[in-house]
Amino acid sequence: MKTTCFALSLAAALLAPATYSQSPTSEQRELREIYKELVEINTTDSVGSCTDAANALAAHLKAAGLPAQDVQVIVPPGGPKKGNLVARYRGAGAKKPIMLLGHLDVVEAKREDWQRDPFKLVEENGYFYARGASDDKSMVAVFTANLVRYRREGYRPERDLILVATCDEEIIPSKFSGIVYLLEKHRGLIDAEFALNEGGAALLDKSGKYQRMTIQAGEKVFQTYQLEVTNPGGHSSLPVKDNAIYHLAGGLARLGAFDFPFKLSATTRAYFEAMSRIETAQTAADMKAILRDPPDAEAIARLAASPINNSTFRTTCVATMLDAGHATNALPQRARAIVNCRILPGEPVDEVQRTLLRVLADDKISVTPTHEPTLSPPPPLTPEIVGPVEKLSAQMWPGVPVVPTLLAGATDGRFTINAGIPTYGVSGMFRDPDGSGVHGLNERIRVRTMYEGQEFLYRLVKLYAGGK
């Protein structure tokens, strides 16, 4: 423990610019205050309240001078603690608004498992620690603080900026999903030409150096299937070959050995192009080799050993749950499995089910989707979107490549994209390569990262929104 702490503080001392850790600017202090208040409001599903968090942010925006009618806390019926914040910063109305999207809720955190209280903002060794320190209260606090700052500076954009801070992003599925509720019931209030969202976690390398700036364009489609085999069963002293468990297990073994076809999109092609310049040796060569036509099959196989590469260039389906039999001394009458698929954006979902049936190759195994998919075509990486990110990134982090990514997981972005609002994950906040404890223990973000993200988003939104 001691060595870790020492190593961390040493690394922080070597890398954190003194201006951030020693004398924060007034804007940084203002952000820190909003951020502290936000992470110290528990917004877990079990005992927390998004409504309290939404109200706290609303108070800051109104105190800064945003008209009360432009700052709304919207609470869905039946979910008094599931409030969402929608705040409109008025521009000249020359173009459709930009949505600044983030989520208020956080994953559960048990005090006894954490080194520090997860619902107190602790600054230590150049890091902020708290549940939500990174996911996603950093971005929500930054968006809020930046609107306060714009207001004070008298900034008048050419288009409206809409801050949308939602509840229940972390709960899948949730009947109180804030973004689903807002899209269904208050579309006019949040409608935008495009949205900026979490999910674009830029990366530091192990030594704390900037590895890559990231813009996330697209999320895989989440689809779960139930596999089932039924059988008349019988006494286990008189077994027969036709056994529900063996049928299912045989099919699952075939699925385990199967790979969905390799496929690149504009986003993932750009990802591997950029990564081939960051990676070295065999990995770099392999990334170049899969970009050729036809792609190199051996390179694909080598790269697929990395779950990140593999999930980037193909649809995946994996068995996640099993349930079979009803007694130790009876032949199974039923065997079930859950298979969770992450489908490349743009791939027909029906085709995945047909592929599963073909690979399971046993007509005793039925395959049934457990829910309707939320389709999520990849948002286009246009020069209007990417240009400002590249320009700003080159100013703030010269020489650090901007890498487009596809998210294998899921955020609120899949709903906004599905609703026709292209959504991009971009924050200018560089994460540690170990994942920074997001969804896990001792979640953290570097102090300098927080303030760099603040400055990056302050300037990026202005580049997109124009005006003075």
Positions touching Zn ion (CB under 5 A) are 135-136, 198
Q: Write the DSSP string, 14-74.
A: HHS-HHHHT---HHHHHHHHHHHHHHTS---TTT--HHHHHHHHHHHHHHTT--GGGEEEE
Distance CA 87, CA 97 (A): 12
* Residue placing its CB nearer to Zn ion in the complex, 182 or 465: 182
Q: Minimum Å distance from CB 378 to Zn ion?
A: 19
**111, 189, 328 from 116: Cα distances, Å:** 7, 39, 46
Q: Minimum Å distance from CB 429 to Zn ion?
A: 12
**165, 172, 405 from 102: Cα distances, Å:** 5, 16, 19
* Residue placing its CB nearer to Zn ion in the complex, 170 or 452: 170
β-strands 423-425, 194-197 pairing: parallel
Q: Minimum Å distance from CB 134 to Zn ion?
A: 9
Residue of 292, 293, 315 whose CA lies nearest to 304: 315
- Is the Cβ–Cβ distance between 211 and 447 less than 8 Å? no
* Residue placing its CB nearer to Zn ion in the complex, 198 or 219: 198
* Residue placing its CB nearer to Zn ion in the complex, 157 or 425: 425
Q: Minimum Å distance from CB 198 to Zn ion?
A: 5
Q: Where are the beta strands (DSSP E) in 287-352?
A: 316-324, 330-331, 334-343
Q: Minimum Å distance from CB 73 to Zn ion?
A: 20
Q: Minimum Å distance from CB 137 to Zn ion?
A: 9
* Residue placing its CB nearer to Zn ion in the complex, 136 or 219: 136
Distance CA 325, CA 332 (A): 4
* Residue placing its CB nearer to Zn ion in the complex, 136 or 160: 136
* Residue placing its CB nearer to Zn ion in the complex, 136 or 432: 136
Query: In angstroms, how far is the first alpha carbon of the chain from the final one?
Result: 50
- Is the Cβ–Cβ distance between 467 and 156 less than 8 Å? yes
**Ramachandran region, residue 126 (left: φ > 0; alpha: ψ -120 to 50; beta: rest):** left
Q: Minimum Å distance from CB 150 to Zn ion?
A: 24
